[in-house]
Amino acid sequence: MMTHHFDPTILREYDVRGVFGQTLGAEDARAIGRSFAARVIRGGGRCVAVGLDGRVSSPILEHALVEGLAAGGVDVVRIGLGPTPMLYFAAATLDGVDGAVMITGSHNPANHNGFKFVLHGRPFFGAQIAELGALAQAGAWTSGSGTVSSADVMDAYVAALLRALDGLDPAALARLALAWDAGNGAAGPVLERLVARLPGRHVLLHTAVDGTFPNHHPDPTVEANLADVRRAVAQQHLDFAVAFDGDADRLGAVDGLGRVVWGDQLLMIFAQDLLARQPGATVIADIKASSALFDRVAQLGGKPMMWKTGHSLMKARMLETGSPLAGEMSGHVFFADDWYGFDDGIYAALRLIAATIRLHTSLTDLRSAMPAMVNTPELRFPVDEARKFAAIEEVRARLEAEGVDLVAIDGVRVTTPDGWWLLRASNTQDVLVARAESTSEAGLARLLAQIDAQLAASGLSRKG
């Protein structure tokens, strides 16, 4: 009986992820294919779409994955190189497709790679990913001879994206001037086709797909990676600029003054635009988002909902609640009003254009109107895997015993007169994550002191 044992570090909460040639290789990809095929077939499915990003190792992993899927008895439709949301689009629109697997290392270092999954239109994560490992270890695979075909969905995807601009004032669109930074990631070819069909003035940066990422790392949540779009905005007098991570399921943006518009601030703008058309809608944001966002959604007549961090968890919550809009600090934005409910940085960029036009306000003015909050970035510090969740549980128990005002859906988020602070265990790394936000520097210092006191009570420190 054939079996396979994965390196235990690669089966993560939201995806499979490892270092190519060290913890992840072609045999792992083949086994992932066999295990996922078994899950698809036992769930009554038959066909899986497969896509890949531009990393150097992606073609090797894609070839092995497709072999494993076909040997497991499912038919495979290969859609080729492109962003993760293009694969999600294929899974949602191609006839007969039951599941999808994307080979991508997302925003991780160039030598990392991995797999993201969809099954029957729903996110595939947590216990389901652990089950792939169990199936491989037991050799509980299906067998067959699945067919392998190819489908070019890029033009259909671009045409669908453009529907985000339907009904907008053509003159307003023609006045816009934007920069788009693909970061040498998988978004490049889509952006080239998309921008060719857009009115206005557009500057494309780093659209050549290059898995060594020669210009900057493709992670728009790190401010240093936005230097090129900031320079383009300043030198070419642009309205704003957008940037994408390696597989383009996340959006970064800077306004006309070069200021970063962070994930929760983007969601404030999207919520304002959406709630004008869908009064009372539920808007979901992750537990790391600013209190200004939740306050703004309520002020606009929406129903703000705080939820756990993680793109798979967010998509699942949207399905449960019927929410048309959700987002995370990390730049994942999910639209289910005129889109498919998955995270798509390119579609979000077009919705940002649409929002500025429908609201008759520039992104710069929208950003300037937001309340001035003093906050930390995500503070990440290493804690042993075996300790990280237990430490959070200790903090929660102490705070609850003191009668503190807290939310404990994902770590602990504590509200005080100074603002709020958060302490949670990462689902993807051996770290604790802290964040705090106040209206003053003195208030922020008091919040950080509370975090430090709780960590010290559990024998830990932010300084490692």
Statement to judge: residues 318 and 392 lie in one domain:
no
pLDDT at res. 385: 81
Whether 258 is covered by a domain: the verdict is yes
Query: pLDDT band for position 142 (50/70/90)?
Result: very high
What range does the domain containing 388 cover?
374-457
Contact 424, 417 (CB under 8 A): no
Query: pLDDT band for position 464 (50/70/90)?
Result: low
Query: pLDDT band for position 1 (50/70/90)?
Result: low
Rounded distance, CA 290 to CA 314, Å? 17
CATH number of domain containing 195: 3.40.120.10
Rounded distance, CA 445 to CA 74, Å? 56
Statement to judge: residues 204 and 305 lie in one domain:
yes
Task: Quick: pLDDT tens for 9-32.
Answer: 999 988 999 999 999 999 999 999
Distances (CA, A) of 277 to 103, 155, 179, 273, 344: 37, 29, 28, 7, 21
Statement to judge: residues 362 and 378 lie in one domain:
no
Helices 154-162, 188-196: inter-axial angle, 10-degree rounding: 50
Largest CA distance in the chain: 66
Whether 114 is covered by a domain: the verdict is yes
Task: Quick: pLDDT tens for 416-448.
Answer: 999 999 999 988 778 999 999 999 999 999 999
Contact 224, 216 (CB under 8 A): yes
Statement to judge: residues 242 and 359 lie in one domain:
yes
Q: Token pair of 212, please? A: 């060594």
| Domain final position from 335, 368, 401 | 368
CATH number of domain containing 445: 3.30.310.50
Whether 2 is covered by a domain: the verdict is no
> Helix or strand or coil: residue 21?
coil
Task: Express as a percent the part of the chain with pLDDT over 90.
Answer: 93
Statement to judge: residues 283 and 360 lie in one domain:
yes
Rounded distance, CA 105 to CA 103, Å? 7
Residue 359 Cα to chain centre, angstroms: 26
| Domain final position from 153, 187, 206 | 153
Q: Token pair of 297, please? A: 């959604």
Statement to judge: residues 351 and 223 lie in one domain:
yes
Statement to judge: residues 399 and 326 lie in one domain:
no
Q: How far apart are the first and last CA of the chain?
A: 46
> What residues are annotated to the active site?
106
Number of independent structural domains in the chain: 3
Task: Quick: pLDDT tens for 211-250.
Answer: 999 999 999 999 999 999 999 999 999 999 999 999 999 9
Statement to judge: residues 127 and 205 lie in one domain:
no
DSSP single-letter state for residue 334: E
| Alpha helices (runs of H) in 322-435, residue ranges in sequence order | 345-358, 363-368, 385-401
pLDDT at res. 296: 97
The pTM (predicted TM-score) of the whole model is 0.96
Whether 162 is covered by a domain: the verdict is no
